[in-house]
Structure 1
Amino acid sequence: MVASLDDTKRNAIAVKLADMKALQELVLQNEQQLLQQGLDSEISDRIRDFIKDDQKNLGILETVIGQYGIQAQPRQTVQQFIDKARQLFQGSELSLYEKVSQHELLKHQIVMSGLIVHKAAQKVGADVMVAIGPLNAVNFENRAHQEQLKGVLEILGVRELTGQEADQGIWARVQDAMAAVSGAVGSAVTQSSDKKDMNIQDVIRSDHAKVNTLFTELLQSNNPQKIQEYFGQIYKDLTAHAEAEEEVVYPRVRAFYGEGDTQELYDEQAEMKRVLEEIKAISPSSDQFKDKVRQLMNDVGDHIRQEESTMFAAIRNNLSSEQTEQWATEFKAAKKKIQERLGVVSEANV
């Protein structure tokens, strides 16, 4: 059996990420509903912008969950909340103001969950911090949406109570509040939260960063149990990553990357899988264990350098941005299925 880092703390973070994804899906459904409520053009345009951001953020959450490596289900209480919220949003029991108010609270719930995951990751492991890094962009955009929703609530609330328009200058105040949020969060986050979906290069590069961190943590540890757990995570991450590449990426790049270079990538991953199985049979307390891991790390490093230089260049030169984003979507879906299968195997071997 390959032990992995699916301990209590890591599983708790996986469930929180699953909660966030389920809530993000509810956000998108709510916003589609709001567009059917006869809003004025200013508010409708902002809701449409929210939808674009939230579609991108849902993709980022899927990427983060895939990089994290533990597929989980949202808590039953969260699912019950979602079912009730969806029912209220689709019905006539709530006024438009009340629906937007509930939506703003939902955004706040996602923001707080994202911040808690980020803080928890700092306590759990460097590899977790790498995996959840893109979550900062989701946190920032949902926080910025909250500020805009406060402006929408002011307009709708005054209309419902008085039948008149709110004072001028609301959107200027909203813009100032968003600028304050941007300053508080920091330029690194705002720069990463641009209006671009992650492409296949981004997703593969993020996987590479995580496994490099895991190698470092393993080699720095002197605890045989932790060493075995770190290797278990490396085993699962590399297996899922390699199989997803061989399903989605390599067959398609062959036409423009070249038969020889593409076959070299296949061969390198075949050797990587062989070494993974070889290490799996060695005791983590053995000196040979770390020697073999170093060999694997060097081989994986050479493979990464080839992908991130020549293969990425070939992709950039031959595919549109839309195509690379579609590949990313398909890669994440393939990897999710593989991770779920590896999780079932792991549970069956316990």
Structure 2
Amino acid sequence: MADPAENVVDLLLSQHEQIRHLASTVERNHGQVRKDAFDRLRELLAVHETAEEEVVHPFARRAIGNGSHVVDDRLKEENKAKGVLTELEKMDPDSADFQERFSKFHKDLEAHASHEEKEEFPRIAREATPEQMRGLAKAVKAAEAVAPTHPHQGTESPAKNLAVGPMAAVADRVRDAIGKARG
């Protein structure tokens, strides 16, 4: 079997599984386990969605039939999710409000992933050449390496990500380092 990192669809599906696992871990735990899982989930979602917005969605918009409609629907979901994720970051993970809000977020997250997996990814796999699939996977990994680690609502386009992303990424990564140093 080929390395999933060499095929953009396999890479994204693998990340979706990691996201699902972390979201379930957040939902069924409390205390430090929940907080740590939520922090990992938040970071993975931030870099994953940024890479999709910069690399995957632009390709889908051009390459698949009715691509603009499919991508626009995903971008609306991503914008909404970033807003909710930002709210959740500010809440006490052990509060009842967090649990209630996260449970709804988890359902929306599942729906978003399912839409991508049914409406976007298979069509990308059909339309892209093997070279494009490998190139897109490399581009996704490169985008994730320099992406912000916290959600930034309103940056759901390649141009906005490129304009805001580098400064946001530096600020986020400094914020993360300071948070870890404080314990």
Tell me the TM-score normalised to structure 1 length. Answer: 0.42
Instruction: Check 1:221–1:234 CA distance in 2 against 1; reply closer, same or farther (3 A cut).
Output: same
Alignment of 1:299 with 2:108, yes or no, is yes
Q: 2:129 maps to which residue? A: 320
Instruction: Check 1:329–1:268 CA distance in 2 against 1; reply closer, same or farther (3 A cut).
Output: same
Give secondary structure in 2 for the equivalent of 1:285.
Answer: coil
Q: 1:230 maps to which residue? A: 37
Percent pairwise identity: 25
Q: 1:272 maps to which residue? A: 81
Deviation at 1:221, TM superposition (A): 1.1
Deviation at 1:220, TM superposition (A): 1.7
Q: 1:217 maps to which residue? A: 25
> Which is further off, 322-331 or 255-264?
255-264
Q: 2:10 maps to which residue? A: 202
Alignment of 1:281 with 2:90, yes or no, is yes
Give secondary structure in 2 for the equivalent of 1:270.
Answer: helix
Alignment of 1:247 with 2:77, yes or no, is no
Alignment of 1:253-264 (within 5 A): 253-257=60-64, 258-264=67-73
> Conserved in 1, the CA contact under 8 Å of 2:23 and 2:41?
yes
Alignment of 1:142-161 (within 5 A): none
Instruction: Check 1:197–1:299 CA distance in 2 against 1; reply closer, same or farther (3 A cut).
Output: closer
1:344 to 169, 174, 182: 174
Structure 1 gap segments, 5+ residues each: 1-191
Aligned-partner Cα distance in 1 for 2:93–2:4: 42
Instruction: Check 1:328–1:218 CA distance in 2 against 1; reply closer, same or farther (3 A cut).
Output: same
Q: 1:129 maps to which residue? A: none
Aligned-partner Cα distance in 2 for 1:267–1:207: 20
> Conserved in 1, the CA contact under 8 Å of 2:5 and 2:137?
no
Tell me the TM-score normalised to structure 2 length. Answer: 0.78
**Higher-RCO chain (CA-CA 8 Å, sequence separation at least 6):** 2
> Which is further off, 266-275 or 226-235?
226-235
Aligned-partner Cα distance in 2 for 1:268–1:239: 14
Aligned-partner Cα distance in 2 for 1:286–1:278: 13
Aligned-partner Cα distance in 1 for 2:101–2:37: 14
Aligned-partner Cα distance in 1 for 2:72–2:125: 20
Matching residue's letter, 1:291: E
Matching residue's letter, 2:98: F
Aligned-partner Cα distance in 2 for 1:267–1:309: 17
RMSD value, Cα:
1.9
Greater radius of gyration (CA): 1
Give secondary structure in 2 for the equivalent of 1:233.
Answer: helix
Q: List per-residue Cα deviations over 1:198-246 (Å, max 9, x = no partner).
A: 2110110111000110111122213x22212211111111011011111
> Conserved in 1, the CA contact under 8 Å of 2:4 and 2:14?
no
Aligned-partner Cα distance in 1 for 2:68–2:177: 39
Deviation at 1:344, TM superposition (A): 2.8
Alignment of 1:60-209 (within 5 A): 192=1, 194=2, 198-209=6-17
Instruction: Check 1:284–1:195 CA distance in 2 against 1; reply closer, same or farther (3 A cut).
Output: closer
Instruction: Check 1:286–1:233 CA distance in 2 against 1; reply closer, same or farther (3 A cut).
Output: same
1:308 to 117, 128, 133: 117
Aligned-partner Cα distance in 1 for 2:94–2:77: 27
Deviation at 1:256, TM superposition (A): 3.2
Structure 2 gap segments, 5+ residues each: 150-168
Aligned-partner Cα distance in 1 for 2:173–2:33: 19
Instruction: Check 1:293–1:245 CA distance in 2 against 1; reply closer, same or farther (3 A cut).
Output: same
Deviation at 1:287, TM superposition (A): 1.0
Q: 2:140 maps to which residue? A: 331
